[in-house]
Structure 1
Amino acid sequence: MTDTVFRATRQPADAPVLILESESASLIDADLALQAAREAFLASTIGTAFPVVIGHASANRFTLKSGSAGDLVGVKIGSYWPGNDKMAIPRHNSTIMLLSPETGRLAAVVEAGTANAYRTAAADALAVDTLARPDAHTLTVIGTGRQARYEVRAVTRVRPIQQVFVVGRRPDAAREFARAVTTDTGLPAEPAETRSAVAAADIVVTATTARHPLFDAAWIAPGTHISAMGADGPGKQELPPELYNRARLFCDLPDQSSTIGEFQHAGTADLTPLGAVLNGAAEGRRSPHDITVFDSSGFALQDLTLAAALLRRYAATHNPQEYP
């Protein structure tokens, strides 16, 4: 992979680009997000992602994830402001800042709340496409929030899903989510009890803010793939540690996953970076009976490649003569 993969835009170094939320939301789509995710995971084998910084402002929370790869240098600020509900705006937001690799000056600022939801789901789709059985056709999603809906859309693009089961804490939310899934994808979706939904699944996706296991390890059938998308801070947990003795474990960044991701609860288990599978340095699924687990704690190179892709599309839209 060459540095040209990471070139974002042809804007002069002294003219930072600003892309606000409304613009980035109009530019993003699932194909762009998946390609950016693939670039990010491949870049994770040659680039650098630095330790996550977690900050608090009263009841509000924010994280800083920074990294560099080739021509991409920058930071993503992810914010969680629960009081935004009262103003009918999302609680989560994402702002990505790219620096000039030559001068360190500000090159671009991309507000990417909606794009971040696509980016997170694209990591799941990439993991499913890499690790799940090719014939996987039953999906169980645990969680009924905004991100879970993006996860379902992404997974159904890379596997021949025929049935979706929805597990939620509130029956009314699970019913509403199932209706939304059918509207989005045209697939049959229905609320289900946790044990039966997990046992029936070829693919399980968890997208919650849980701090305790969501199901019993014994309910997972051989051949199942699990993508855990919710743990991104100390104390968060969605999966039962007993599962790890039966499964092959994959993640975005082993050091980060074992610190703030799902595998902070995995002890000394052997973790394989997904990027190493993508570039052929490590094995993925070995047999139809393997249980595979992917933990997505989210890393800066995902955000930097996403911002670069959005900037390229922005430049092509606003300066089409430069991008024939």
Structure 2
Amino acid sequence: MAESHRLFLDARAVARSLPWPALIDALQRALRAADVTAPPRMHCELDPVGGSAPVLLVMPAWSAGLGVGTKLVTVHPHNPRLGLPSIHGLYVLMDAATGRPLAVLDGGELTARRTAAASALASRHLSRAGSRCLLMVGTGRLARYLPLAHAQTRTIDRVLVWGRSPAKAEETANALRTDGLKADVALSLQDAVAQADIVSCATLSNEPLVRGDWLRPGTHLDLVGAFTPAMRETDEHVFARANGVWCDTLDGATTEAGDVIQAIAAGAFDASRIAGDLARLCREGARRADTDITVFKSVGMAVEDLAAARLCIDRHGHDAATP
């Protein structure tokens, strides 16, 4: 295959090369292998622009089988005023044996798809096998990916979409219907939570949206937003009621995840009650009763990026070489 075919993969090429079933399985294999090195991500505040402080995030990871990869992400809070996304990113993948650059991939699409796939992977182990109704809280980019990914591991025959803007919720529901899911707008968040088997949250909220008192026994919560200590998508009663709390990384959950940090600060939860991380969940599984309330808290980790990037260029290379 010519080198030019895999030098840069844009968002469309990344999406085409990362179908949900293959991506979910690739993440599970990487997490079970336990041979990936992933140092803590570097968080650099840049010089203020437009009255706000942009951030550079650097997330490296490497293994002999997957390669050497680094994700570079910039977060510029003032960008919406310029008509631009707040977050931009690139992923660079190199050969582990030689250091030869293999590909540069669109970081936004890679991140969105691996995030949704990680949530679906956790749900494979934590949600009830008979889960059929999913509530999507949020209307951003991930709201169009998370239900599709969850539908790979559970027979989701109904999706409810709730957002602060009913118009955006309708747009999200329309997009999901186009992708083959039966989706409707939820006007009452409390009523929708009471109907859902799986509640997936992907918002930028700083105030609790989902209340622990609303949850019925057997619900699984997938918490993707609240990636800073000041943010939260749930109140502390969610964690007080939970029978099993899992996270993608223990360090991330206790230093970055606002839902967990604020529940601990309120005295409703203790870090010792975290059952384990996603790698342990993939290796050992989890026992749950049908009445258990389970929580998966995601903040993102470099192992997921590396596994997704490797799968992406492997599949892209195969597709490009196939007439």
Q: Give TM-score, length-normalised by structure 1.
A: 0.84
Answering whether residue 7 of structure 2 is matched by residue 18 of structure 1, we say yes
Q: Distance in 1 between matches of 2:279 and 2:156?
A: 25
Q: Distance in 2 between matches of 1:207 and 1:251?
A: 15
Match of 1:162 in 2: 157
List per-residue Cα deviations over 1:106-163 (Å, max 9, x = no partner): 4442223223221111111111111100111111111011111111111122212232
Match of 1:6 in 2: none
> Retained in 1: the 8 A contact 2:6–2:317?
no
Match of 1:303 in 2: 305
Match of 2:252 among 249, 256, 263: 256
Answering whether residue 221 of structure 2 is matched by residue 226 of structure 1, we say yes
Match of 1:48 in 2: 37
Counterpart mapping for 1:80-119 below 5 A: 80-81=75-76, 85=80, 90-102=85-97, 104=99, 106-119=101-114
Mark the runs of 5 or more structure 1 residues left unpaired by the alignment: 1-9
Structure 1 residue 295, shift from structure 2 partner: 0.8
> Retained in 1: the 8 A contact 2:135–2:199?
yes
Match of 1:242 in 2: 237
Matched residue SS, 2:206: coil
Matched residue SS, 1:185: coil
Q: Distance in 2 between matches of 1:266 and 1:49?
A: 27
> Retained in 2: the 8 A contact 1:167–1:194?
yes
Q: Distance in 2 between matches of 1:83 and 1:29?
A: 33
Q: In structure 2, what residue type is equivalent to 1:28?
A: L
Structure 1 residue 252, shift from structure 2 partner: 0.8
Specify whether residues 36 and 79 from structure 1 end up closer, same or farther in structure 2 by C-alpha distance, changes over 3 A only.
farther
Q: Distance in 1 between matches of 2:169 and 2:227?
A: 24
Q: In structure 2, what residue type is equivalent to 1:112?
A: G
Matched residue SS, 1:109: strand
Match of 2:169 among 151, 154, 174: 174
Name the stretch that deviates more: 96-105 or 229-238.
96-105
Structure 1 residue 241, shift from structure 2 partner: 2.0
Match of 2:262 in 1: 265
Q: Give TM-score, length-normalised by structure 2.
A: 0.84
Specify whether residues 90 and 153 from structure 1 end up closer, same or farther in structure 2 by C-alpha distance, changes over 3 A only.
farther
Structure 1 residue 308, shift from structure 2 partner: 0.7
Q: Distance in 2 between matches of 1:177 and 1:16?
A: 33
Q: In structure 2, what residue type is equivalent to 1:65?
A: M
Answering whether residue 185 of structure 2 is matched by residue 196 of structure 1, we say no
